[in-house]
Amino acid sequence: MKVLLIEPFKKYWPLIGESTSPPLGLLYLASYVRENSDHDIKVIDCQVNRMKLDKLESIIEREAPDVVGVGSITPYVYDAVRVFELAKEIDEGIVTVAGGPHFTFTVEESLRDFKCIDVIVRGEGEITLLELLNSLEKNGFNTKSLKKIKGISFRLNGKPVSTSDRPLIKNVDSIPWPAYDMVPMRRYRFVVFGEKYTMILGSRGCPFRCRFCSEWRFWRGCWRPRNPVNIVDEMEFLHEKYGKEIFWFADDTFNVNGERIEAFCRELMERGLDFKWYYEGRIDYLLKYRRLLPLMEKTGNIWVLLGVEGASDHELKYYRKELSIEQIKKAFKLLKRHNIISQAMFVIGHRKETRESIMAKVKLSKKIGADFTIFTMLTPFPGSDIYEEAKRNGWIEVYDYSKYDMLHAVMPTETLSRNELQKLFNEAYRKVYRGIMQRLTGIFSRNPWKRKLYRYMIKTVIKKAVLSFL
């Protein structure tokens, strides 16, 4: 089979500007299929190549694929659908395959509303996609054969049907590294750090069940770590082949296991690798493994993103964070002591939210001394518990998925309209980033990475994107 996996061109998320990261999901799929079959599979990244639909059209016509696949999270679902529509316009016989969290959790809706989609691969896709391609090669689009494949959904007599779920891959180290050679790796960049940056995965899933998150359900509440040696091997490969030196671990929760973190750091140290790395992790685990912070700092940990979410223990309990405000204060104090950039993530917009509770988040951000604060709008992503709750209670007022980007208010609170909530959301950013002393502290910090971050945030994101948003 001839297969094109496509990362669509989409609107940049304002908070990180024109940063681009390799489409790891597609690259993992491509590498697995390539290693285990003779199918001709390619990855087309329209985002990094700034490729609009007209250019993509010529590529699809030239390649004449049997299958076109696109994965998507909720705010980019329409970009994925436009690719499927284009493929069908070029050749109705192309089999279109959708994957990723959004399509996994909206099977009936997506197959009903988007006739351009033939098959949905639900959840972890490597084995499922390979079996699907093998079946299509042998039997064509035969529903009797498709029903034998676990983890897919399609139409049968015009109605959506789903096969049984596929078990997760037990050993994630058995999955080959992403097919980096299929994309222009040297062109990926993060606006703060340039082209020496790339994204990498050290684990899949998260053992926690935050109310606003759909990722834990996508990975079925399991956390499956890679071997630290395998991770460092991949980092070293990316450095030697593509010049990458700064690594963003895109794991849902990086710091679950202290022994593994220590093994990872010691592997870096023993090889004498001078890399910089940053991750998203849990506050309680940072405190639990605080003894490792000096080692982590020494081996290149420059930045930690922590989910604070609320400014009261009540809010934290509602979100099922299993944290306390006291723990939050201690964690940020530790990061400051070890000269590691601290990023605080807050969620705005739960049902009981008021102006006072929003301003309390602003106050807490300043009190804990977060170097970098991001406010996100509570968004009812399909697959999350908040989605089910909001849908059941009729709270959702906006059904345009392109607005589900954590920047737009799509639900009111009990006392705030969506318009009022949006204004307070923007005001929260202004209050955090317009403090003169905080600007000076960051811009003239002795930490070079912090200086880079603050200068970018002040000059670009906060000034041009957030404060003028809407």
Domain spans in the chain, listed from the N-terminal domain onward: 2-162, 189-466
pLDDT value, residue 470: 43
Under 8 Å CB-to-CB from 99, ≥6 apart: which residues? 25, 29, 69, 70, 71, 72, 120, 121, 122, 125, 129
C-beta separation of 16 from 406 below 8 A: no
Tell me, what's the pLDDT at 463?
54
Domains 2-162 and 189-466 share a fold: no
Q: Can you list the residues of the chain whose pLDDT is less than 70? A: 15, 435-441, 458-470
Work out the number of other CB atoms within 10 angstroms of the CB of residue 355: 14
Which structure tokens are listed for 424?
Answer: 């307070």
CATH C-level class of 189-466: alpha beta
The answer to whether 87 and 68 have CB atoms below 8 angstroms apart is: yes
Sheet arrangement for strand 301-309: 197-200, 246-249, 276-281, 301-309, 341-348, 372-377
Position 302 scores a pLDDT of: 95
Fold held by 2-162: Rossmann fold (3.40.50)
Q: What's the pLDDT score for residue 465?
A: 47
